[in-house]
């Protein structure tokens, strides 16, 4: 069966990038690889809109998140966690694992945090050393107001802002330096359109001061060691060489495209899909949706997992269901990865067919035509 992947990671990878990654391996301690690393690090700064160093870790995104907690904080420190979904919970769990006192701002799943909630939490806990938040909460499809949160945190000398932008960086505008985002994490298997295995973390000057003081136990994820390694044009430990070689290709494409076109591309796929959702009489789950993914509520009486299953098993299309408390209630289509308008048309057509099979009547082509119209009007 011909297969398509439109899940929020792993994602479709450009065959050209896959082919570059499948060239014979080169040694990680060689001038050839140092040159690649230096180029990649430069292009990461372009993507991140930052002058901060971007550290490259060999792990999934969760490894990068852990690195933030263990490299910025010490046991007994206090941190504010925005918990509005599964990945917000992860910040909170990470703090607990490292003996950091987590002050959770609990948000109903599907809602975004309000900047004033962060402000209030900081007023109640002025000794909080960090605010942990998602740019985009992948489990609910919600976009948090990190620019506004940046305004609040940057006024405080003793607090850093740590943003999980794993499924947001490269999708829509994130101005790391201008917005005062001290530490920003991403992963290879999201908008960077690569297989999983890399996590990237940018660290601001303000955050480096926290890193120097942090006493949490750590070894493999060590920002100071990685910073020294950057100076020697290498990495602290053997990196995922082939992924970094793939990353160079992707970033080169991004650079040639320019950030505006990159963000417009995702917006276009997202808006068309969202028009189709309305046309099919369906509801989006998030109250503040992002252009990273479209999260659709399963119609009453229909299990979202069945939609996912029919698409995967009968139509060859991988989308994602809900996680944890949202299991069965939603299904999610990604707009990042190596995708274009035709992929969205396919996904929408398949959803129309699956829903009809499951007993929810949609006129064939209803969603598809709404997306087509949007695409035609927004070339």
Map tokens 């990273």 to a residue: 292
- Mutual angle of helices 241-257 and 259-279, in 10-degree steps: 90
| Closest among 61, 19, 58, 3 to 249, alpha carbons compared | 19
Residue 210 CB, nearest approach to a copy of itself (Å)? 17
For position 97 contacting a copy of itself by CB under 8 A, the verdict is yes
For position 241 contacting a copy of itself by CB under 8 A, the verdict is yes
Indicate which single residue of 70, 143, 191, 273 sits in contact with a copy of itself (rule: CB under 8 A).
70
Using CB atoms within 10 Å of the CB of residue 114, give its burial: 0 to 12 exposed, 13 to 18 middle, 19+ buried: middle
User: Distance (Å, rounded) from C-alpha 327 to C-alpha 304?
Assistant: 7
DSSP-derived pairing of the beta strands 136-137 and 130-134: unpaired
Residue 51 CB, nearest approach to a copy of itself (Å)? 28
Using CB atoms within 10 Å of the CB of residue 272, give its burial: 0 to 12 exposed, 13 to 18 middle, 19+ buried: buried
Under rule CB under 8 A, how many of the chain's residues touch a copy of itself?
A: 58
Q: Which segment (60-68, 118-126, 299-307, 352-360) binds a copy of itself by CB under 8 A?
A: 60-68
Structure tokens at 54: 């971007």
Q: Which segment (78-86, 93-101, 119-127, 259-267) binds a copy of itself by CB under 8 A?
A: 93-101
Q: Which segment (39-47, 118-126, 216-224, 266-274) binds a copy of itself by CB under 8 A?
A: 216-224
For position 325 contacting a copy of itself by CB under 8 A, the verdict is no
Nearest residue (CB) to a copy of itself, 112 versus 330: 330
Nearest residue (CB) to a copy of itself, 166 versus 362: 166
For residue 200, give the DSSP letter: E
Q: Coil, strand, or helix at residue 300? A: coil
Instruction: Please list every residue from 185 through 214 that binds a copy of itself, using CB under 8 A.
Output: 187, 189, 195-197
Indicate which single residue of 11, 72, 79, 326 sits in contact with a copy of itself (rule: CB under 8 A).
11
Q: Which segment (58-66, 119-127, 178-186, 248-256) binds a copy of itself by CB under 8 A?
A: 58-66
Using CB atoms within 10 Å of the CB of residue 236, give its burial: 0 to 12 exposed, 13 to 18 middle, 19+ buried: buried
User: Distance (Å, rounded) from C-alpha 376 to C-alpha 379?
Assistant: 6
For position 327 contacting a copy of itself by CB under 8 A, the verdict is no
Q: What is the binding site for a copy of itself (CB under 8 A)? A: 3, 5, 7, 9-13, 15, 18-19, 21-30, 58-63, 65-66, 69-70, 75, 93-94, 97-99, 187, 189, 195-197, 216-221, 237-243, 312, 318, 320
């Amino acid at each position: 069966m011909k297969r398509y992947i439109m899940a929020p990671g792993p994602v479709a990878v450009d065959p050209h990038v896959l082919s570059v990654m499948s060239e014979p391996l080169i040694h990680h301690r060689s001038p050839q690889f140092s040159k690649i690393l230096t180029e990649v690090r430069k292009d990461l700064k372009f993507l991140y809109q930052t002058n901060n160093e971007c550290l490259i870790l060999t792990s999934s995104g969760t490894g990068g998140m852990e690195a933030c907690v263990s490299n910025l904080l010490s046991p007994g420190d206090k941190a504010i966690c925005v918990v509005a979904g599964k990945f917000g919970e992860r910040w909170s769990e990470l703090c607990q694992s490292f003996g950091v006192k987590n002050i959770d701002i609990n948000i109903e799943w599907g809602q975004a945090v309000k900047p004033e909630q962060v402000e209030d939490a900081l007023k109640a806990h002025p000794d909080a050393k960090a605010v942990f938040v998602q740019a985009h909460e992948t489990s609910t499809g919600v976009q948090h107001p990190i620019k506004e949160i940046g305004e609040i945190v940057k006024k405080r000398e003793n607090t850093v802002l740590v943003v999980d932008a794993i499924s947001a960086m490269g999708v829509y505008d994130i101005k790391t330096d201008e917005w005062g985002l001290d530490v920003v994490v991403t992963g290879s298997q999201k908008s960077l359109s690569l297989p999983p295995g890399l996590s990237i973390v940018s660290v601001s000057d303000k955050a480096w001061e926290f890193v120097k003081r942090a006493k949490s136990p750590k070894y493999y994820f060590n920002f100071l060691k990685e910073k020294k390694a950057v100076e020697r044009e290498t990495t602290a430990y053997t990196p995922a060489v082939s992924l970094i070689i793939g990353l160079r290709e992707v970033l080169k494409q991004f650079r040639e495209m320019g950030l505006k076109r990159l963000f417009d591309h995702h917006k276009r796929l997202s808006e068309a899909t969202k028009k189709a959702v309305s046309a099919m009489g369906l509801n989006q789950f998030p109250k503040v949706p992002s252009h990273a993914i479209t999260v659709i509520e399963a119609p009453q009486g229909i299990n979202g997992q069945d939609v996912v299953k029919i698409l995967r098993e009968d139509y060859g299309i991988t989308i994602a269901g809900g996680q944890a408390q949202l299991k069965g209630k939603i299904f999610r289509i990604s707009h990042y990865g190596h995708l274009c308008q035709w992929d969205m048309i396919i996904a929408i057509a398949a959803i129309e067919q699956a829903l009809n099979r499951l007993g929810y009547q949609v006129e064939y082509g209803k969603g598809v035509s709404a997306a087509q119209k949007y695409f035609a009007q927004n070339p």
